[in-house]
Amino acid sequence: MSATPTDPPASSAPPAPTTAPAAPPPGFRAVFALGGRALPVHAFLARLPAALCPIGTLLLVTERDGIGEAGLVAAALWLGQALGGPVIGRLADRLGHRPVLLFACAANALALAALVAAVLGGLPPAARMGLALAAGLTVPQIGPLARARWARLAEGDKALLGAALSFDTALDEAGFMVGPALAGLLAVTVHPASALVLAALLILVSGTLFALHPSAPGPFPATGPRADVRLWSRGSAVLFAMAVLQGAAWGGANTGVNALAESLGEPGAAGAVWAAMAVTSSLAGFATVARPGTARPDARLRWTIAIQAALTLPLLAVSGLWGAACAVAAIGLAVAPHLIALFALVERTGPARRMGEAMSVTGSGLIAGQALAAAAAGPLAAAHGYRAAFAVACAAATASAVVALAGAGRLRPSGPGR
């Protein structure tokens, strides 16, 4: 039987290449896989004292000595935190997170306990302000150092890092929603000192667990190119200026809400009104994790701050607490997306070897802006009414948008140390 030739295939052309489906953007599952489920829990509980302490200090000192002295003590706390943050961030970069955080957590818990004892014991105002300053100086900077950890864990994966920073910022906003409400509830149901006592316990326990987590980076080598790594660049200066102005927008708006509530004879309602911003901001942050989008951080920074500036303007027209709550809730929709873009650009423009310090400096800018605006808006509100404080917030938000547009071209990565 003779073999017959095999018929050639109908077409010898190679099959058309198939395009692999694009990988879905990283979401919650990828973030938890990156750092483990314990890291976000420890980070959230350890940074909750940052939201508990200012309102807890105001509640405790106001109950004992009035709002005048309470404002001075709270200002000392803020000042200490703004000054101490970059120092702790720098030490964490040089010596490693673990030893610096363990020391800071113990020192901060001790300072908070001493502050409570000083207020309850009736020590002179100078002593209370000194202890509040010490409590601020020793704040362990959990938020900035957590962001530095996510930057290291992501290992250059920008999409994954964006999701992680979005999630971390949403945790921050959730903490500033829970903290003031919890402080007020404890002051009414337990004791005015309860919030500060709880803050000391949380920082001692959860802060220690955060310090000991395996994600904690060690020190950078003492030798090598570190001497050539500069923290400040044109881009980092623009971002710091925006952080200060963002904090000033919060400080002016918060002062205006408090002045409005006091003018209506309901000063206790100010905390609930202000919490509306944290609610919408945290929801916007979690939504950004689920749907991160494809826009670059510098573009997102520009349009989110522009939206926030526009949403701040209705504050000038509010005349009641419900209107104020709606206005600050609308502003909150842009806050977390703006902060997510801001800290993503800090990671992009700052040197990797000094990332903890870079994040802490930006966080200190937010705090300094709040303190400066509160110092200016308070007397303005007393002299001209609550709308004067809201005008400070509007001016700061508008100035931040102008800085973002003018400095957009400077938001580029730094060279050495990246």
| Structural domains in the chain (count) | 2
Does 145 fall in a domain?
yes
In this prediction, residue 20 carries a pLDDT of 44
Does 146 fall in a domain?
yes
In this prediction, residue 67 carries a pLDDT of 59
Three state DSSP letters for the chain: CCCCCCCCCCCCCCCCCCCCCCCCCCCHHHHHHHHCCHHHHHHHHHHHHHHHHHHHHHHHHHHHHCHHHHHHHHHHHHHHHHHHHHHHHHHHHHHCHHHHHHHHHHHHHHHHHHHHHHHHCCCCHHHHHHHHHHHHHCCCCHHHHHHHHHHHHHCCCHHHHHHHHHHHHHHHHHHHHHHHHHHHHHHHHCCCCHHHHHHHHHHHHHHHHHHHCCCCCCCCCCCCHHHHCCCCCHHHHHHHHHHHHHHHHHHHHHHHHHHHHHHCCCHHHHHHHHHHHHHHHHHHHHHHHHCCCCCCHHHHHHHHHHHHHHHHHHHHHCCCHHHHHHHHHHHHHHHHHHHHHHHHHHHHHCCHHHHHHHHHHHHHHHHHHHHHHHHHHHHHHHHHCHHHHHHHHHHHHHHHHHHHHHCHHHCCCCCCCC
Does 329 fall in a domain?
yes
Say yes or no: 338 and 310 in one domain.
yes
Single-letter residue type at 256: G
Does 12 fall in a domain?
no
**Euclidean distance between CA atoms 336 and 330, whole angstroms:** 12
Say yes or no: 341 and 241 in one domain.
yes
Say yes or no: 201 and 250 in one domain.
no
Domain boundary (205, 222, 239) is at 222
The parent domain of residue 379 ranges over 229-418
Say yes or no: 245 and 148 in one domain.
no
Domain boundary (182, 205, 222) is at 222
Domain boundary (192, 222, 252) is at 222
Say yes or no: 264 and 373 in one domain.
yes
Does 7 fall in a domain?
no
Say yes or no: 209 and 274 in one domain.
no
CATH number of the domain residue 81 falls in: 1.20.1250.20
Say yes or no: 254 and 170 in one domain.
no
Say yes or no: 102 and 190 in one domain.
yes
Tell me the average pLDDT of the chain. Answer: 82
Q: What is the pLDDT along the chain (418 residues), one digit of tens a residue?
A: 444 444 445 444 455 444 444 444 566 777 788 878 889 899 999 999 988 888 788 778 877 877 567 777 877 888 888 889 889 988 998 899 999 999 999 999 999 999 999 999 989 989 999 999 999 999 998 988 988 888 888 877 777 877 887 788 778 877 877 787 787 778 778 888 998 999 999 999 999 999 999 988 888 665 554 444 677 778 788 888 999 999 899 888 888 887 888 888 886 677 778 778 888 888 888 887 777 666 777 888 888 899 999 999 999 999 899 999 999 999 989 988 888 888 888 877 777 777 788 888 888 888 888 878 877 887 888 888 889 989 999 999 999 989 888 876 666 544 444 4
Say yes or no: 189 and 321 in one domain.
no
Say yes or no: 233 and 345 in one domain.
yes
Say yes or no: 107 and 241 in one domain.
no
In this prediction, residue 184 carries a pLDDT of 74
Does 56 fall in a domain?
yes
In this prediction, residue 3 carries a pLDDT of 46
Does 52 fall in a domain?
yes
Does 27 fall in a domain?
no
In this prediction, residue 17 carries a pLDDT of 47
Say yes or no: 323 and 200 in one domain.
no
The per-residue pLDDT for range 49-66, each reduced to its tens digit, is 988 888 788 778 877 877
